Amino acid sequence: MKISSTHQQFANDLKDQTALEYPERFLGPNWKNVLNFWIYLDTLNDEESELINKRYWASEDLMNLTNLSFKTAEAIIGHENASVAWSVTPSFSSACATCELIGSHNLESFKFLPLFLNM
């Protein structure tokens, strides 16, 4: 399994290297999608990241949607794991998208993941 820089930081911040071998224990049922997204984040260049962040800050109802994405992840993987997953991602936009992926089986639509399309 390829390990992204975000996944490595996730395990380091949890102080539990088993998060590298058994990510499903820490990231919930959608762990494969989360890990694939984190690998994708490693491929983004500075210009792409800047464009995504501009899209994020231009989003309507930003604070409520950001809070909802975190609460969704928190309900599935617990406060500590959700907090660490949030903090290790490189931006607010990637943190929100990560939380959406964690809770994707409970969501009707994505608000933040589409920000990463067409890069």
> What's the pLDDT score for residue 119?
78
How wide is the angle at C-alpha 24 spanned by C-alphas 82 and 76, nearest 5°? 40
pLDDT tens readout for residues 28-74: 999 999 999 999 999 999 999 999 999 999 999 999 999 999 999 99
Q: Where are the beta strands (DSSP E) in the chain?
A: none
pLDDT at 22 over 80: yes
- Average pLDDT across the chain, whole number: 96
- Alpha-carbon torsion angle 25, 26, 27, 29, nearest 10: 20
